[in-house]
Copies of this chain bind each other. A is one copy, B any other.
Amino acid sequence: MTDFRGVFPILPTPFLPDESVDIGSFRTMIERMVGLCVDGVTILGVLGEANRLTDRERTDLVDAAVQTADGRIPVVVGTSHSGTRAATELAASAKRQGADAVMVTPHKEPVPSERRIFDHFRAVAAATDLPIVLQDHPGSTEVHMSVELVLDMVKEIPTIACIKQEALPSPPRIAALKAGLSRDVPILTGLGALYGGFELAAGADGFMTGFAFPEILKAMVAASVDDAWRIYAKHLPLIVFENQPGVAIRKEIFRRRGLIAHSVVRAPGTGISPTAALQLDDLLERTFGARNLCERLTP
């Protein structure tokens, strides 16, 4: 069973210029992630533009990821859905397709109810024995779960194997979760690693996020406190730049790294702006001393 410590990049979904799924690039990217020795990959999250995909496309992407990973690294599949039954079906389907875990968020309802969020996770857990990554990201879900709710769900639902903690402010929340957890469930942080240095210091066990340089995050996780800080500080301009809304900048970096063929974003999302493209040139030069990321960063 997957140990959710370390670095689990959230992967984008590559598209061809006509916005159809580029399965070839997707496989290449997974293969490259294996090469980068990440601890696992997560597909079909926000960066994966999961909300722009059809179910058929999702299924194909899961198949491609599982086949390419081929047991070398675990594949976590985002299976969130606005309906509980569909969420359970997506989770069961992920299991059948060979996924190693599912990532699940609560869905915003007109009248918020922690009880119903609990029921939602219970239902998913009943539908599959796959480990569940409980994602808490109010920034995208608009759902605010109390620390108590998260702790209670961890206590009652044994297959919750990881908390992807992205509620703000995150360091004190990580500390509160760590203090309250009834069993040793890893806490991974996200938010593009924006607060990564502070989150590790507060007890986070690693990263599950879309920052386009997972090897940098791996180095942080493996390093001493002081070295982790230095790595974080050195790359923070890049982290901040990537953190601008939308997925275009990250996809463009993935493209420049040779991980995907095109940085196409599905409408109504938008591609990288001319301003951002120019600033990215400059930023990469300043950060790495070279724009040829493919050459520079291939492990």
**Interface positions of A (Cβ within 8 A of B):** 19-20, 49, 51-56, 81-86, 89-90, 107, 109-113, 116-117, 119-120, 123, 138, 144, 146, 167-172, 174-175, 194-195, 197-198, 201-202, 229, 232-233, 236-237, 240-241, 244-246, 266-270, 273-276, 279, 282-283, 286
With known contacts A83-B267, A84-B268, A86-B54, A112–B144 Cβ distance under 8 A: yes
- Distance A85 CA – B81 CA, assembled complex (angstroms): 19
Q: Which of B55, B170, B229, B276 contacts A56 (CB 8 A)?
A: B55
Besides the contacts A110-B168, A195-B241, A236-B240, what 7 more A-B pairs have beta carbons closer than 8 Å?
A54-B86, A55-B56, A83-B266, A84-B267, A116-B267, A169-B246, A175-B274
A107 / chain B contacts, CB cutoff of 8 Å: 268
With known contacts A169-B244, A195-B244, A276-B172, A120–B268 Cβ distance under 8 A: yes
* A234 vs chain B, min Cβ distance (A): 8
A110 / chain B contacts, CB cutoff of 8 Å: 168, 245-246
- Is A267 in contact with B172, judged by CB distance below 8 angstroms? no
Oligomeric state, in copies:
4
Q: Which of B117, B172, B279 contacts A198 (CB 8 A)?
A: B279
A202 / chain B contacts, CB cutoff of 8 Å: 275, 279
- Distance A267 CA – B109 CA, assembled complex (angstroms): 10
- Is A82 in contact with B244, judged by CB distance below 8 angstroms? no
- Distance A167 CA – B198 CA, assembled complex (angstroms): 26
A195 / chain B contacts, CB cutoff of 8 Å: 240-241, 244
- Is A237 in contact with B197, judged by CB distance below 8 angstroms? yes
A146 / chain B contacts, CB cutoff of 8 Å: 113
- Distance A141 CA – B117 CA, assembled complex (angstroms): 22
- Distance A56 CA – B56 CA, assembled complex (angstroms): 9
- Distance A209 CA – B36 CA, assembled complex (angstroms): 40
- Is A85 in contact with B236, judged by CB distance below 8 angstroms? no
- Is B49 in contact with A83, judged by CB distance below 8 angstroms? yes
With known contacts A54-B89, A197-B237, A267-B84, A275–B171 Cβ distance under 8 A: yes
A138 / chain B contacts, CB cutoff of 8 Å: 111
* A58 vs chain B, min Cβ distance (A): 9
Q: Which of B86, B111, B117 contacts A52 (CB 8 A)?
A: B86
- Is B53 in contact with A171, judged by CB distance below 8 angstroms? no
Closest 10 CB pairs of A and B: A52-B83, A84-B267, A55-B55, A172-B275, A172-B273, A169-B244, A51-B82, A236-B236, A116-B268, A175-B275
* A116 vs chain B, min Cβ distance (A): 5
